[in-house]
């Protein structure tokens, strides 16, 4: 599987070269729109460059940042972990890479949500593993199909992945679904990997973290600073283990060897990441307010367009509409996306790029200002009317 989110930048560049104005609705980067990294994060980074020795840091992550993460996770979810459970990484992407590199032998399987964030499939395949998708049920607000999870477990299953809030669907799994997945993990002694990088971007309802599951569920939580903390280019992430009975001890040891081999995460940025956890959090209120307004507009506007239907967003900043391709010139959702880019400059991501169960969909973002969203979807509607008439 290619990384579809950035794959579409190639035809987009060609469209721009041909004179098209691009409306980039493909990448989940808040800082490309009207969301600013808080000034006190930036001030801390500037000071850190001047005040630290700018030498190497701890391979596991500097202790003061890990202590701040421990405190923040307690404040969010009421959970008790220690700094020794926490590993600081260059974004969640490095967490995924090192975890899969440690966990997988050729032929091993990992259960992932379908549709799902493509980096998981990329790294699983890179290490010669096999991605096994479980369905998210669109008609039930993209609820994970726990019956399918159970049916797709084999003796080669090494882990189950949950992405909650979800990329690309914008769903939030309720407590019942997370507990059901946790029960399966405990029953089969299969580690649960829970990607929770959007955990403070919640449009409606309550958020239940996999960290709140019982002790018999072996799990590792992925999180980072790119989305909620508005510092995607600084490449800061972390993971922490909750594995009371030591099922993942060898995995932790193997991951730590890789962390030592890559030396350390960016040291000055760790100081800024720590500040982002401990300073004022009011910017998150404004972030969610804007996203709530823009996601509601996107939901209403897309459902007005013939041939397109979509669910409401509950978390994160993505939407995953369905497009009815019957009677259209396009055989696949990718054909549709590529034509839209070439003719209108509206850059979406084809749903099939998110793996099994993503076909006949596309992913868009709810980050841009309302005027940009309105222009993009007006162009989309005219494009469909012209090509499908």
How many CB atoms within 10 Å of residue 268? Answer: 19
Rg (CA), the chain: 21
Average pLDDT over all residues of the chain: 96
Q: How confident is the model at residue 2 (pLDDT cuts 50, 70, 90)?
A: low
Give how far the C-alpha of residue 206 lies from the chain's centroid of Cα atoms, to the nearest Å: 19
Pick the CATH number of 39-278 from 3.80.30.20, 3.40.640.10, 3.40.50.300, 3.40.50.150: 3.40.640.10
Residues 154, 169: contact at Cβ < 8 Å?
no
SS3 for 297-360 is HHHHHHHCCCCEECCCCCECCEECCEECCCCCCCCCHHHHHHHHHHHHCEECEEHHHHCCCCCC
- At residue 331, what are phi and psi to the nearest 5 degrees? -80, -30
Whether 193 contacts 239, CB under 8 Å? no
CATH T-level assignment (fold) for domain 4-36+282-388: 3.90.1150
H or E segment and range at residue 22: none
What's the whole-model pTM score? 0.95
Instruction: Give pLDDT, residue 1.
Output: 55
Sequence ranges of the domains in the chain: 4-36+282-388, 39-278
Instruction: Please calculate the CA angle 350-354-360 and round it to the nearest 5 degrees.
Output: 45
- Section 38-43 average pLDDT: 96
pLDDT tens-digit profile of 180-205?
999 999 999 999 999 999 999 999 88
Span 211-232, average pLDDT: 97
Question: Which residue in this structure is represented by tokens 């992932």?
Answer: 112
């Amino acid at each position: 599987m290619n990384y579809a989110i950035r794959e579409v930048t190639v035809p987009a560049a060609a469209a721009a070269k041909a004179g098209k104005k691009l409306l980039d609705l493909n990448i989940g980067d808040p800082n490309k729109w009207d969301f600013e990294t808080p000034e006190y994060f930036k001030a801390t980074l500037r000071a850190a460059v001047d005040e630290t020795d700018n030498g190497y840091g701890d391979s596991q992550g500097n202790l003061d940042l890990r202590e701040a993460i421990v405190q923040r996770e307690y404040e969010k979810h009421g959970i008790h972990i220690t700094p020794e459970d926490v590993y600081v990484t260059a974004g969640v992407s490095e967490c995924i890479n090192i975890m899969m590199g440690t966990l997988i032998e050729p032929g091993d399987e990992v259960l992932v949500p379908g549709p799902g964030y493509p980096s998981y499939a990329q790294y699983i395949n890179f290490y010669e593993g096999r991605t096994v998708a479980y369905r998210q049920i669109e008609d039930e607000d993209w609820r994970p199909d726990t019956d399918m999870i159970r049916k797709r477990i084999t003796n080669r299953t090494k882990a189950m992945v949950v992405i909650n809030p979800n990329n690309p669907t914008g769903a939030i799994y309720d407590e019942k679904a997370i507990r059901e997945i946790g029960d399966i993990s405990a029953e089969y002694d299969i580690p649960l990997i829970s990607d929770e990088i959007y955990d403070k971007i919640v449009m409606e309802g309550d958020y239940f973290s996999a960290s709140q599951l019982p002790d018999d569920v072996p799990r590792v939580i992925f999180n980072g600073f790119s989305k909620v903390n508005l510092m995607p280019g600084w490449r800061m992430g972390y993971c922490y283990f909750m594995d009371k009975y030591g099922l993942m001890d060898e995995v932790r040891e193997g991951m730590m060897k890789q962390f030592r081999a890559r030396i350390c995460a960016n040291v000055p940025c760790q100081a800024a990441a720590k500040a982002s956890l401990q300073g004022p959090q009011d910017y998150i209120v404004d972030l969610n307010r804007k996203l709530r307004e823009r996601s509601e507009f996107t939901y209403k506007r897309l459902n007005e367009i013939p041939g397109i239907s979509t669910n409401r967003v509950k978390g994160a900043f993505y939407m995953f509409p369905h497009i009815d391709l019957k009677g259209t010139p396009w055989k696949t959702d990718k054909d549709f996306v590529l034509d839209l880019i070439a003719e209108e400059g509206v850059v979406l991501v084809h749903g099939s790029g998110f793996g099994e169960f993503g076909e006949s969909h596309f992913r868009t973002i709810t980050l841009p200002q309302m005027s940009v969203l309105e222009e993009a979807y007006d162009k989309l509607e005219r494009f469909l009317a012209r090509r499908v008439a």
